[in-house]
Structure 1
Amino acid sequence: MSEWFTVENIEQVAAQYRTFGPLIGLLLPFIEAFLPFLPLVVFVVANASAFGLWFGFLLSWLGSVAGSYVIFLLVRHFGKHPKFRFITGSKKVKKLIQWVDMNGISPLFVLLCFPFTPSVIVNIVAGLSHIHKKFYLIVLLAGKFVMILGMSVLGYDLKSLLTSPVRLIIAGLAIVVLWWIGKLIEKRLNARVERDLKQMRKLPKNE
């Protein structure tokens, strides 16, 4: 990752983004959801540099959420097929699924707020759990919002950020504020979804 995340590489990717247009800014974060070894932080920062803070953030956010949710839906639909027992049958995965079912969406939201969390694993475990599809979409939208907005703000003007201690401090404070907002969202979602999960466990599963 360190060899990717340099000012020169960010500026080069940003220049290429402007050449190809907004579609590439949407597509690369989408693909990263399937190929987590790709540097999402580079794509997010390049989007912000190429298209402006808010439009670049929107492209990164929508692309990343869409890719993650497609993985979740694929796992929800095909994950329990006998051919995928090498994934679903492992004790480690079963424990993770049980942990998610017991704790609801709150832990998933927290994990998705961090930029270096292996979100593909979170998407797979969520797809195999009993979390309702619409609630996981809300979790993705909220968690990715916090994570990608933070990266976009930090990378919007990378040169100025790295050469200005004042801006670096302001960026750090912004991350704290975003984390606080995320905790408020987490509490509301958790209180709302926990009731739904308890009711779902009492009913036969239809999906």
Structure 2
Amino acid sequence: MNEDVSNLDELQDMISDSVVGDFIIQLLQFYGGFGPIPGILLPFIEAFLPFLPIIVFILANSIVYGLVMGFLLSWAGSLAGAIIVFVLVRKSEKFRWVRRIKYQKHIQKITTFFDRRGFTPLFLLLCFPFSPSALLNVVVAFTKMSIKQVILALALGKAVMIFSVSYVGDSITSFAEEPVKTIIVGIAIGLFWIIGKYIEKRIQTDVEREDGETT
């Protein structure tokens, strides 16, 4: 009990002078009787309303539910929201106004880049908490990347991002003050990248095999 109070005080110090942060913590505690639903719902909603403070949600979850459970809830909610946004945008390409957005020159340059590079740049961008993940969800929906590739990048990239925020905290100076944390986060990025590239290669091999069988 004392440890939970200490952790809560530490979080409140990190987001001092943040009315939104204090409100989120109180909200999660108040609705604690609903189990993990609030912890999943807040990151899920952020995928549709990107102006909401995802970092505050992740930190609050790690305090209220614990580091491991808080990480899992944040990851599940954020990933589910991102996948739904991606699918909705891709399905909406039949509308003329969506196609107008898709074929704008600057959008085409970005989608061409992702089409050529595939998994790696999307994964790396999603690893960082300050990347425009909501914009990435929309732009990637306009690419030729398969839904399996996109979900893979979303799942692994968001896992690294949420883990780093939960583990390191929202203070960038923590990286300089505690180099061990920097090393651990760096290892996590490298490990997830290797896993992702391996799975992506397997997906591409399966697709090529299926194409060969149909021809």
In the TM superposition, residue 185 of structure 1 has moved relative to its aligned partner by 2.6
Separation in structure 2 between the aligned mates of residue 80 and residue 102 of structure 1, nearest angstrom: 24
**2:73 aligned residue:** 59
Separation in structure 2 between the aligned mates of residue 113 and residue 141 of structure 1, nearest angstrom: 10
Aligned counterpart in structure 1 of residue 149 of structure 2, from 127, 135, 152 = 135
1:91 correspondence with 2:105 = yes
**2:177 aligned residue:** 169
Specify whether residues 177 and 78 from structure 1 end up closer, same or farther in structure 2 by C-alpha distance, changes over 3 A only.
same
1:41 correspondence with 2:20 = no
In the TM superposition, residue 173 of structure 1 has moved relative to its aligned partner by 2.6
**2:29 aligned residue:** 18
Amino acid at match of 1:14: I
Q: Secondary structure at the match of 2:144?
A: coil
Specify whether residues 196 and 130 from structure 1 end up closer, same or farther in structure 2 by C-alpha distance, changes over 3 A only.
farther
Separation in structure 1 between the aligned mates of residue 195 and residue 174 of structure 2, nearest angstrom: 34
Maintained 8 Å contact 2:44/2:81: yes
Unaligned 5+ residue runs, structure 2? Answer: 1-13
In the TM superposition, residue 132 of structure 1 has moved relative to its aligned partner by 1.2
RMSD: 2.8
1:180 correspondence with 2:187 = yes
State the aligned residue count: 190
Maintained 8 Å contact 1:43/1:60: yes
1:101 correspondence with 2:115 = yes
Separation in structure 1 between the aligned mates of residue 128 and residue 175 of structure 2, nearest angstrom: 21
Separation in structure 2 between the aligned mates of residue 167 and residue 95 of structure 1, nearest angstrom: 34
**1:6 aligned residue:** 15
Aligned counterpart in structure 1 of residue 166 of structure 2, from 128, 152, 163 = 152
In the TM superposition, residue 99 of structure 1 has moved relative to its aligned partner by 0.5
In the TM superposition, residue 120 of structure 1 has moved relative to its aligned partner by 1.2
Specify whether residues 168 and 44 from structure 1 end up closer, same or farther in structure 2 by C-alpha distance, changes over 3 A only.
farther
Q: Which has the higher contact order (CA 8 A, sep 6+)?
A: 1
Maintained 8 Å contact 1:68/1:123: yes
In the TM superposition, residue 13 of structure 1 has moved relative to its aligned partner by 2.3
Separation in structure 2 between the aligned mates of residue 191 and residue 42 of structure 1, nearest angstrom: 33
Amino acid at match of 1:169: E
Maintained 8 Å contact 1:110/1:143: yes
Q: Which one is further off, 9-18 or 40-49?
A: 9-18
Specify whether residues 187 and 55 from structure 1 end up closer, same or farther in structure 2 by C-alpha distance, changes over 3 A only.
closer
In the TM superposition, residue 107 of structure 1 has moved relative to its aligned partner by 0.1
Separation in structure 2 between the aligned mates of residue 175 and residue 72 of structure 1, nearest angstrom: 31
TM-score by length of 2: 0.77
**1:77 aligned residue:** 91
Unaligned 5+ residue runs, structure 1? Answer: none
Moved over 6 A (4+): 165-168
